[in-house]
Amino acid sequence: MTDVQTETPAAPEVAVAPKANPVAWPLGLAGVVLVIVGSFLSWSYDGTILNDLSIDFFPGGLQILAIVIAVLSLVLLLAAKGPLAALGSWLDATLGLRTFGTGLVLYMALVLVAISVESEGLINVNPGGYVTLVGALLIAVSGWLLPLRQLRNMKAAKLPGWVDILAIAVLMGSLLFLAAYALGLEDAWSFILCLVFIATAATGLFRTGAMSWVAQAGQRNRKVLTLASFAVAFLFPFTQDGSDANMSIATSVLVFAATAMGLNIVVGLAGLLDLGYIAFLGSGAYVAATLSQSAFATIGWKPPFLVVVLVGALVAMLLGLVIGSPTLRVSGDYLAIVTLGFGEIFRFAMFNLDGNNGPNLTNGPNGIPGIPDLELFGFNFGAVHHPFGIELGRFSNYYFLLLILTGGVILVFSRLNNSRIGRGWVAIREDEKAAEAMGVNVFGLKLLAFAVGAFLAGLAGTIKAHQDGAVSPDQYIFLESAFLLAAIVLGGMGTIAGVLLGATILKLLPEKLRFFSEYRLLLFGITLVLMMRFRPEGLVASRRRQLEFHEDDEHLAEVVENELVEEAK
Amino acid sequence: MTVTDAPPAAAAVGGTVLEASGVTMRFGGLLAVNNVNLTVREGEIVGLIGPNGAGKTTFFNCLTGLYKPTSGQVRFAGVPRKAPKPPKRKRVKKAPSAAAVDAVTVAVQVPSLPKLSPLPPKPRAVVRAGMARTFQNIRLFANMTALENVMVGRYSRTSAGAITSVLRGPKFRREEAATRARAQELLDFVGLGKSTEHLARNMPYGDQRRLEIARALATDPKLILLDEPTAGMNPQETKQAMDLIFKIRDLGLSVVVIEHDMRFIFTLCDRVLCLVRGETLVEGTPGEVQSDPRVIEAYIGSGEDDDEDDDGPQDVVEEAKP
């Protein structure tokens, strides 16, 4: 949900603020100038850290980020008072300015810390850094001095249709650019600073209301938004200059996201808690490995990959049905325990099917290495290709395949959600007894969710096996299931964007921030506890889930209802 | 809408729809329902009365398959297992624009009744056979819209499976459109045509009751069981509910109503069954039942049931006498 800024908080402050008004605006302007000037000066004496911020009049990447925020602040200042006042009647310039200012102060403080940590002491900070910090402080102060204003309802804004599309294009373009830039950062400090920048810019834009407007534009042009998202995802490998370092992270993010999306059908739509979901991914991967051309494959039959995909998915689905049919009749807690047990059984089975205790299917703890790269329709996924003269490495090839898979899973998810079956799932979540009394096939629908989820995970597993080149039991531990679930809870159960976001955060951050890997679990734990307390519906909330989590929030129900009525028109 | 207190001429009563014989439900040592017989004919409104704890709702649950009766049999003029698909497209076209709420007629196909056959004690099978119910304490899907609630009711009469839903062929679109149109039609029928997109949990109490009836009607029932449809309603709403039930009966459906409001029951029903402590006390026309001294005695005499409110039976029974 987007922030709902009503006039209520504005009313009391308006009375206090106007006195400081004459100073606030010039102060902000001075801040912007200082930030821009400071960013053109050298920040650091040491040129080897933070991608070189040491040259005067030649801003490095992090300095450009500061300038971007300054320019955004300038726009807001001009909207508050000046030539863009018309814009200011729609956008909440003050709130945005406060966020930008505060964020920029945090950003600059972190820059100074980073410089002094990376090259021994504050002595290495050049004047430019201080100038920018002062500028940031001025912007923040001006933001807090400026009065809040009554805004016009953004929904009343009459803009031509192409503005919507343009907004989506700009948003997606900046997403692509930012993703490429952030992933290109080698050192952890730069990456963290980049995250702070993204957080500041995004929060600021939300606070002004601009982002909510873009979100509404996205709602209005759903197809455009979907296409644009896929276009951005598709273009991403072309920004990587054939480097496999980031692409390997991106592919693992995609495998994770596709699997989380499948689990989202089980957890988010049908409302079943599955704690052993990774086993279905594993069974797909093991099927692909044993039927692959690998020298260590234990089964002689080596069918083409498309057959393997089908077999892997069907085996996973069969396992899902076997686990689901006895347990789905009883209440949810049992299912959680049984699936948890199933996940462990799967791992131990793969561990022990090594010929000593039964048939040798999996080579036990050694797993099956040496799985060759895929070759589909004469296209070798292991080779480097050069479409349009741009080098695309091995991981880029798999990236495209996984992108198609993810798209497929999303398609299945959203279409099931918006159908008779999806309605049945919601009804079961709402009131199982009533659903049954209305003729909904409760058991069948639960089993279906389980089977579809397992099928999709098996599908992803077959590709994962080839992409990893090896399978072994220790890839499919309980922790992985827990992370999948965490991605869903963090992102927002039952949503597409939320789960993709959650999966990206959970997979990307540990890869980029190696130094905090020891504290990874601790931090995720704390994050999840905080989420449960303050925003149980996840970062991106599905409307229905939000209602379910806030049973007695009358105001929310009103807001949602108004939206529904609006949409129906 | 005008309501006269005299019962309108009953619609032509046809063959037997439901025949429950010797239904007994025992929970451990408690005999909740003991050897109750009930026969419902086509187009008939049957009332089920009795003091609190008489086993009325338990009896309903036995009929609808939520409970499996300890003994006894429920036979229903069921739809054969492979029912021919009702021609949905035609039905959609039959409701032109649904302009005036009152003028809407819902085309329910009432084919000649098949033979009575035993009902399996499974809610889903019962719904498929053509029996639908509402609940004493409203059980709507609170976070769904009114339209979605009714669309869920269409579940057993539609067939789009997982693969169809993902592929979205013309059959899926047609079925989805028909489901939506039918749901809208039913909302119009119960007088909620304007609240389509409202969340069930936000609706006023009376509307929630009507929405629950619409949801039950969406399953294309031949017999509808209403569990205290006017509980908590004011007289105005009660009259509207009565009109609605007559309207449902006029579609050719049979209705069984549990109610505590005696005036409501005696005005509405063609036949009344009075349950006391799980057993049938009296069965007969409203006139017979309300003049039966045992009924009055059952209500007053049962000292344990002290939670009767001001529509206590004796004055209501008196008042309701023509």
Across the interface, whether the CB atoms of A438 and B151 are under 8 A apart is answered: no
A557 CB within 8 Å of a chain B CB:
yes
pLDDT of residue A118: 82
| Amino acid type, B107 | A
Q: Mean pLDDT over all residues of chain B?
A: 80
Per-residue pLDDT of A411-456, as tens digits, reads 999 999 999 999 999 999 989 889 999 999 999 999 999 999 999 9
- Mean pLDDT score, A162-167: 84
* Residues of chain A contacting residue B133, judged by C-beta atoms under 8 Å apart: 437
Q: Which two tokens stand for residue B39?
A: 């026969």
Query: Based on the domain organization, do B162 and B240 belong to the same domain?
Result: no
pLDDT of residue A155: 66
Which element (helix H / strand E) includes B61?
helix B56-64
Residue B51 placed within a domain: yes
CA distance B321 to B316: 9
CA distance A372 to A382: 8
Paired residues of B256 in beta bridges: B46, B225
Query: How far does B211 lie from chain A, in Å, by closest CA?
Result: 13
Query: Based on the domain organization, do B153 and B299 belong to the same domain?
Result: no
Q: Mean pLDDT over all residues of chain A?
A: 84
Least Cα distance to A298 among A247, A242, A362, A249 occurs for: A362
Across the interface, whether the CB atoms of A557 and B202 are under 8 A apart is answered: yes
B141 CB within 8 Å of a chain A CB:
yes
Least Cα distance to B58 among B90, B20, B114 occurs for: B20
* Residues of chain B contacting residue A437, judged by C-beta atoms under 8 Å apart: 64, 66, 123, 127, 133, 135, 139
CB count in 10 Å sphere of residue B187: 27
| Touching B: A residues 371-430, CB under 8 Å | 411-412, 415-416, 419-424, 426-427, 430
Query: Based on the domain organization, do B7 and B122 belong to the same domain?
Result: yes
Residue B136 placed within a domain: no
- Tokens 């693969």 locate to B163
DSSP A266: I
Query: How far does A392 lie from chain B, in Å, by closest CA?
Result: 33
B163 CB within 8 Å of a chain A CB:
no
CB count in 10 Å sphere of residue A357: 11
In chain A, where the domains are located: 10-237, 258-371+390-494
pLDDT of residue B113: 64
Chain B: residue nearest A549 by CA?
A: B143
Residue B206 placed within a domain: yes
pLDDT of residue B13: 59
> At residue B318, does pLDDT exceed 60?
no
Residue B207 placed within a domain: yes
Across the interface, whether the CB atoms of B199 and A427 are under 8 A apart is answered: no
pLDDT of residue A484: 92
- Mean pLDDT score, A45-63: 81
Tell me if A255 sits within 8 A of A464, measured CB to CB: yes
Q: How many CB pairs under 8 A join A and B?
A: 121
> At residue B317, does pLDDT exceed 90?
no
Query: Based on the domain organization, do B72 and B98 belong to the same domain?
Result: no
Number of domains in chain B: 2
| Amino acid type, A164 | D
CA distance A300 to A311: 15
pLDDT of residue B94: 40
CA distance A185 to B100: 66
Last residue of a domain, one of B186, B220, B254: B220
| ipTM score above 0.95 | no
CA distance B24 to B36: 7
A437 CB within 8 Å of a chain B CB:
yes
> At residue A6, does pLDDT exceed 70?
no
- Mean pLDDT score, B136-165: 90
- Mean pLDDT score, B170-191: 92
| Touching B: A residues 522-551, CB under 8 Å | 544, 547-548
* Residues of chain A contacting residue B66, judged by C-beta atoms under 8 Å apart: 433, 436-437
pLDDT of residue A318: 95
CA distance A463 to A288: 8
Chain A: residue nearest B132 by CA?
A: A438
Query: Based on the domain organization, do B62 and B99 belong to the same domain?
Result: no
Find which of A213-227, A296-310, A399-413, B49-63 is predicted with most confidence, using mean pLDDT: A399-413
Which element (helix H / strand E) includes B88?
helix B88-94
Last residue of a domain, one of B199, B220, B241: B220
Chain A: residue nearest B178 by CA?
A: A420
pLDDT of residue B175: 92
What CATH number corresponds to the domain at position B160? 3.40.50.300
| A533 φ/ψ angles, rounded to the nearest 5 degrees | -75, -45
Lowest pLDDT segment from A60-74, A348-362, A470-484: A348-362
Lowest pLDDT segment from A127-131, A355-359, B218-222: A355-359
* Residues of chain A contacting residue B174, judged by C-beta atoms under 8 Å apart: none
* Exposure class string for A437-467: b at 16+ Cβ within 10 A, else e: bbbbbbeebbbbbbbbbbbbbbbbbbbbbbb
**Per-residue confidence band for B99, with pLDDT thresholds at 50, 70 and 90:** very low
Percentage of residues of chain A with pLDDT beyond 90:
25
CA distance A142 to B152: 55
Lowest pLDDT segment from A267-271, A422-426, A546-550: A546-550
| A380 φ/ψ angles, rounded to the nearest 5 degrees | -90, 120
> At residue B10, does pLDDT exceed 60?
no
Residues in chain B: 322
CA distance A306 to A465: 14
Query: Based on the domain organization, do B97 and B214 belong to the same domain?
Result: yes
CA distance B230 to B242: 9
Tell me if A212 sits within 8 A of A154, measured CB to CB: yes
Least Cα distance to A61 among A212, A244, A183 occurs for: A183
Sheet of B271-276: strand order equals B131-133, B223-227, B254-258, B45-49, B271-276, B279-284
CA distance A129 to A120: 16
pLDDT of residue A156: 67
Per-residue pLDDT of A522-544, as tens digits, reads 888 888 888 888 888 888 877 77
CA distance A315 to A451: 10
**Per-residue confidence band for B303, with pLDDT thresholds at 50, 70 and 90:** very low
Query: Based on the domain organization, do B4 and B96 belong to the same domain?
Result: no
* Residues of chain B contacting residue A415, judged by C-beta atoms under 8 Å apart: 165-166, 168
Across the interface, whether the CB atoms of B162 and A430 are under 8 A apart is answered: no
CA distance A110 to A129: 11
* Exposure class string for A279-316: b at 16+ Cβ within 10 A, else e: bbbbbbbbbbbbbbebebbbeeeeeebeebbbbbbbbb
pLDDT of residue B224: 94
Across the interface, whether the CB atoms of B199 and A430 are under 8 A apart is answered: no
Tell me if B278 sits within 8 A of B38, measured CB to CB: no
**Per-residue confidence band for A461, with pLDDT thresholds at 50, 70 and 90:** very high
The DSSP-derived string for A112-125 is HHHHHHHTTSGGGB
B152 CB within 8 Å of a chain A CB:
yes
Domain of residue B44 covers 1-79+114-130+221-322
pLDDT of residue A509: 83
> At residue B313, does pLDDT exceed 50?
no
Query: Based on the domain organization, do B177 and B211 belong to the same domain?
Result: yes
Residue B297 placed within a domain: yes
A160 CB within 8 Å of a chain B CB:
no
Chain B: residue nearest A550 by CA?
A: B143
A438 CB within 8 Å of a chain B CB:
yes
Across the interface, whether the CB atoms of A426 and B127 are under 8 A apart is answered: no
**Per-residue confidence band for B78, with pLDDT thresholds at 50, 70 and 90:** low
* Residues of chain A contacting residue B141, judged by C-beta atoms under 8 Å apart: 426-427, 430-431, 434-435
Across the interface, whether the CB atoms of A436 and B124 are under 8 A apart is answered: yes
Mutation site for A-interface testing, chosen from B68, B128, B165 by largest number of A Cβ within 10 Å: B165
> At residue A121, does pLDDT exceed 90?
no
A281 Rama sector, left if φ>0, alpha if ψ -120 to 50, beta otherwise: alpha
B139 CB within 8 Å of a chain A CB:
yes
- Mean pLDDT score, B139-168: 90
CB count in 10 Å sphere of residue B52: 12
CA distance B278 to B23: 10
Across the interface, whether the CB atoms of B141 and A435 are under 8 A apart is answered: yes
Query: How far does A558 lie from chain B, in Å, by closest CA?
Result: 8
Across the interface, whether the CB atoms of A421 and B127 are under 8 A apart is answered: no
pLDDT of residue B177: 93
> At residue A176, does pLDDT exceed 50?
yes
Residues in chain A: 569
* Residues of chain B contacting residue A412, judged by C-beta atoms under 8 Å apart: 166
CA distance B42 to B250: 11
Which candidate from B123, B132, B165 shows the least CB-CB separation from A419?
B165
Which candidate from B145, B197, B219 shows the least CB-CB separation from A438?
B219
Q: Which two tokens stand for residue A68?
A: 């971007």
Last residue of a domain, one of B220, B245, B279: B220
* Residues of chain A contacting residue B162, judged by C-beta atoms under 8 Å apart: 416, 421, 448, 452
- CA-based torsion, A186, A190, A196, A202: positive or negative: negative
Using alpha carbons only, give the angle B259, B262, B264 rounded to the nearest 5 degrees: 75
Which candidate from B135, B141, B160 shows the least CB-CB separation from A420?
B160
The DSSP-derived string for B235-300 is HHHHHHHHHHHHHHHHTT-EEEEE-S-HHHHHHH-SEEEEEETTEEEEEE-HHHHHH-HHHHHHHH
- Tokens 């989380």 locate to A260
Across the interface, whether the CB atoms of B123 and A436 are under 8 A apart is answered: yes
Across the interface, whether the CB atoms of B152 and A565 are under 8 A apart is answered: no
Q: What 3-state DSSP class applies to A159?
A: coil
* Residues of chain A contacting residue B124, judged by C-beta atoms under 8 Å apart: 436, 439-442
CA distance A428 to A441: 9
Least Cα distance to B66 among B139, B159, B148 occurs for: B139
- CA-based torsion, B246, B241, A426, B91: positive or negative: positive
B161 CB within 8 Å of a chain A CB:
yes
* Residues of chain A contacting residue B123, judged by C-beta atoms under 8 Å apart: 436-437, 439
Query: Based on the domain organization, do B34 and B2 belong to the same domain?
Result: yes
Per-residue pLDDT of A319-345, as tens digits, reads 999 988 888 877 667 888 888 999 999
Per-residue pLDDT of A477-495, as tens digits, reads 898 899 999 999 988 888 9
Query: How far does A417 lie from chain B, in Å, by closest CA?
Result: 9
pLDDT of residue B79: 53
Across the interface, whether the CB atoms of B156 and A423 are under 8 A apart is answered: no
Least Cα distance to A438 among B216, B248, B256 occurs for: B216
Burial level of B68, CB count in 10 A (0-12/13-18/19+)?
Answer: exposed
pLDDT of residue A143: 87
Lowest pLDDT segment from B6-20, B56-70, B131-145: B6-20
Query: Based on the domain organization, do B126 and B18 belong to the same domain?
Result: yes
Pairing of strands B30-41, B279-284: unpaired
B66 CB within 8 Å of a chain A CB:
yes
* Exposure class string for A26-53: b at 16+ Cβ within 10 A, else e: ebbbebbebbbebbbbbbbebeebbbbb
Paired residues of B39 in beta bridges: B19
Query: Based on the domain organization, do B38 and B153 belong to the same domain?
Result: no
Mutation site for B-interface testing, chosen from A419, A450, A565 by largest number of B Cβ within 10 Å: A419
Across the interface, whether the CB atoms of B156 and A416 are under 8 A apart is answered: no
Tell me if A467 sits within 8 A of A261, measured CB to CB: no
